[in-house]
Structure 1
Amino acid sequence: MAAFSNALHATDQADGLRRLFGGSSQRLVPVVHNPHVVCSGVLMERLSLAMAELGARILVVDAADNAPVAHELVDIDLPACIERLDDHVAYLAARGLPRRHVDMRGSSEAWLAAVEQAAPWADVIVLHAGARDLARMCGPREISPILLATVESPSLTDAYASMKLLSQRLGLRVFDLLVGMQARPRRAAAVGERLATCADNFLGAVLRACVPVDRTEPLNQPASEPLSRLAAQQMLGLAGAGELALLPDASMRPQAVAHY
């Protein structure tokens, strides 16, 4: 009986989010590549699965420097190069494409728009790329990029550098953080606290959420409550965080203040 009740609540959450999300335009969720995070693929997969659990259809565009090489026909028939992974998630290998398609202003916004048009079925575009490429593609959009880190110092340094670059070039002030770890949630929380302090003191930026992700957990395990909340916030956008209060389960509502 308890299992049935939990399943029913999960269905109510997904239905509630779909009602809030339905009819709106695609959401862009930028994920900042960090070369010091060797588990970035796991973090991306966990994020995508968390969004899928909430009923979203996701296209993952992997334009990071370590992504697979783009298909040779990608500039001729982009939709045909999108690989369906399951009913909810599709994947586009896009290494090097943002820089290949810059205009005279050094912008790749037109290429990103073409990707979005090639996947009209997608509710969410998860865009994985380095900070400089994200700045070229995202332009003036209202976004809150997701940074990646581990509990090791070099990854934290890179995450802060990316935050600084995006803050300076795009004027962004709100970020989220996924911390890949292995049974070390306190260390992950300390990483988030340190980055949040630096962001506030030196950039006037806010680290809205810090979510630890145990990279050793099975991928078929349901998303944690913090990861589900982060996914929902990203899907609804910066202006829609208050709408999460309308969902039937309080676990999907954003925390008013994040304490690390």
Structure 2
Amino acid sequence: MVHNPHVPGAGVVMERLCAAFAARGLRSLVVDAADTASPPHELASVDLGACVEVLSPSVSYLAARGLPMNYLDSRATQVGFIDALRIAAPAAQVVVLHAGALDLRRMFVGRTPRPVLMAGPRPDSLTHAYTSMKLLSQRLGALAYDLVVSGDVGIRRAERMAERLTDCADHFLGAALRDMAVVDPHAPPQATVPADMQRLAAGLLPATAQTAHGLADLPPLPASTMPQRRPASVGRLN
């Protein structure tokens, strides 16, 4: 999940994703490595697994702000962080990794992730989402994305935002949005997961993850389906 500083409620988005995965009987590990996250436990560099906090039978959490830098190698990648997560939480079937695009492109060198972008009510949030898409598509070859719109945004406005991002992604990057969901950051945690988020979460899972496997057995995450191409309405996204 790509961090967007202009979007409120990233924590709620992660909660909703985990709830959707839990509804499928899957155990999630939330790793918050964004620059707004809590710092990691002081033991993280010694025993990462001991720093994983169990929040519920289906969700565990790891505060990881700045932690991926501990795995920076001679090629300036952080791929060792992904491997360390597999070892630290082998029972997790899904990892919800929240980080900035610059960190994600170092973590996923040699892999092609299926990133989840975020946008919100502020116009600059959509610009930031496109900038992240551009970086990840050029550096990692990631061309399939999902979009979660978080905040006080109606479904029609969210659809227009998704269409605009779809147009620019297709026209300038050859990339595509697979699916879009809207999250209300004020909804109670017990609220039913909306159908659009359930669909988006299901699309993120490879076929092998639909049943019980541990994180160590799973490939990197995928995504779902989105609007058809329309003539590009460029705006300020390029």
Pairing partner for 1:258 from 205, 222, 227: 227
Q: 2:194 aligns with which of 217, 221, 224?
A: 224
Q: Select the residue among 45, 50, 55 that pairs with 1:75.
A: 45
* 1:189–1:212 Cα contact (<8 Å) kept: no
Structure 1 residue ranges, 4+ long, deviating more than 6 angstroms after superposition: none
Assess if the C-alpha contact under 8 Å between 1:233 and 1:240 holds in 2.
no
- Whole-Å Cα distance in 1 between the matches of residues 55 and 13 of structure 2? 16
Q: CA deviation at 1:240?
A: 9.0
Instruction: Return the alpha-carbon distance in structure 1 between the equivalents of residues 100 and 196 of structure 2.
Output: 25
In the superposition, the TM-score normalised over structure 2's length comes to 0.86
Deviations 1:127-155 (CA, angstroms, capped at 9, x unpaired): 11000100111122232100011032111
Q: Deviations over 1:158-194 (max 9, x none)?
A: 1000000000000110000000132511111111111
Bigger radius of gyration: 1
Q: 1:84 aligns with which of 32, 44, 54?
A: 54
The equivalent of 1:172 in structure 2 is 142
One-letter identity of the residue aligned with 2:21? M
**Distance apart, 1:102 and its partner CA:** 0.4
State whether residues 120 and 153 of structure 2, in contact with CA within 8 Å, keep that contact through their aligned partners in structure 1: no
1:181 maps to 2:151: yes
- CA–CA separation in structure 2 for the residues paired with 1:81 and 1:187: 40
- Percent identical among aligned pairs is 48
| Unaligned residue ranges in structure 2 (runs of 5+) | 211-223, 230-238
Q: Distance in 2 between matches of 1:77 and 1:229?
A: 36
Equivalent pairs, count = 216
Residue type at the aligned position of 1:106: A
- For normalisation by structure 1, the TM-score amounts to 0.79
What is the CA deviation profile of residues 60-97 of structure 1, one whole-angstrom value per residue up to 9, with x for unaligned ones? Answer: 11100000001000011111100001000000000001
